[in-house]
């Protein structure tokens, strides 16, 4: 978290784990027209590692559905696209 607060260039140190949670929306029963998070659809992780010659490397994991079953790996292009997308996002912080 400290590296995301200090830097806007989206470079994370080895050992960092970024996650992206996607859920279905549902109607909010208390506010007309409002939508709130419902069931989780997926949780994706990008793990930052130190590779050979101290170069940064990444691994990607994807879990799907209510039981968060590990998903089959997409093509390497698909993995790269998801990693790039997750790494480009600005982290959200909660008090």
pTM (2 decimals)? 0.77
Residue 60: DSSP 8-state:
E
Question: What are phi and psi for residue 14, nearest 5 degrees?
Answer: -55, 140
pLDDT tens-digit readout, 48-94: 999 778 888 999 999 998 888 898 877 888 899 999 999 888 777 76
Residues 6 or more apart from 33 whose CB is under 8 A from it? none
Q: Supply the pLDDT for residue 26.
A: 92
CA 61/CA 82 separation, integer angstroms: 10
Residue 66: DSSP 8-state:
T
Residue 2 scores a pLDDT above 70 = no
Q: What are the extents of the domains in the chain?
A: 2-88
Q: Supply the pLDDT for residue 68.
A: 87
Among 95, 93, 89, which Cα is nearest to 12's?
A: 89
pLDDT tens-digit readout, 3-56: 666 666 677 889 999 999 999 999 999 999 999 988 999 999 999 999 778 888
CA 57/CA 85 separation, integer angstroms: 15
């Amino acid at each position: 978290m400290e590296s995301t607060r200090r830097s806007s260039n989206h470079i994370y140190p080895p050992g960092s784990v970024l996650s992206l949670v996607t859920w279905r929306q549902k109607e909010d029963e208390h506010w007309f027209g409002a939508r709130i998070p419902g069931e989780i659809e997926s949780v994706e992780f990008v793990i930052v590692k130190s590779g050979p010659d101290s170069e940064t490397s990444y691994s990607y994991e994807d879990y799907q559905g209510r039981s968060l079953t590990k998903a089959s790996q997409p093509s390497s292009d698909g993995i790269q696209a998801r990693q790039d997308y997750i790494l480009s996002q600005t982290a959200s912080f909660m008090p």
